[in-house]
Amino acid sequence: MLVQTIAWITSLFFMILVVAVFAVVAWKSRERKDYAPIKKKWYKARTFYGAALIALMLVLTIYTLRELPYNQPVYGAGNEPTVVDVQAVQFGWNISENEFKVGEPVEFHVTSKDVNHGFGIYDEEMNMIAQTQAMPDYTNKVFITFDEPGTYEILCLEYCGLAHHLMTADITVTE
């Protein structure tokens, strides 16, 4: 679980950073200093910081917006995806097809008959490999190409009533 480890270490780093900043501020607050020059200096710093932040955010925004819609694959000729209709319903899944081949591009078109549900696909080690929201009157798409054979499990990810935990289904992927 490398991702969790990285997330944990990153969080710890920033937690320590915040504590350190508070400690320095608390320590420095004992000193008496003339306010005017400090104000001038840090107002200048703030202007620079603000401009840098806007520039950075602008670059990031433009860069990431180019990818929209995210995760939308481009299929080559003769490589059309298998479209699978998924309808969530209290408390189960109506899936038009649940057997796929390794390397076969699959598009799940996910909607709901009643309330909001979550459509999550898990591999055999119960790692989530894809998910989307199942909403009434909307169709959300999940693009996936299974690269391992096996039995995958679909679980509902949104508490949707008393039998929420029974909303499971299986997908079989063969070589």
Q: Is 159 in the site for ligand CUA (CB under 6 A)?
A: yes
DSSP assignment of 113-132, as one string? SSS-EEEEEE-TT--EEEEE
Q: Is 167 in the site for ligand CUA (CB under 6 A)?
A: yes
In this chain, which stretch among 8-16, 31-39, 123-131, 158-166 interacts with ligand CUA, using CB under 6 A?
A: 158-166
Token representation of residue 148: 């391992």
Token representation of residue 118: 């979550």
Q: Is 160 in the site for ligand CUA (CB under 6 A)?
A: yes
Q: Are 120 and 152 in contact (CB under 8 A)?
A: no
Q: Is 107 in the site for ligand CUA (CB under 6 A)?
A: no
In this chain, which stretch among 13-21, 48-56, 137-145, 152-160 interacts with ligand CUA, using CB under 6 A?
A: 152-160
CA distance 63 to 119: 29
> Residue 117 or residue 152: which is nearer to ligand CUA going by CB?
117
CA distance 154 to 131: 9
Binding site for ligand CUA (CB under 6 A): 88, 117, 156, 158-160, 164, 167
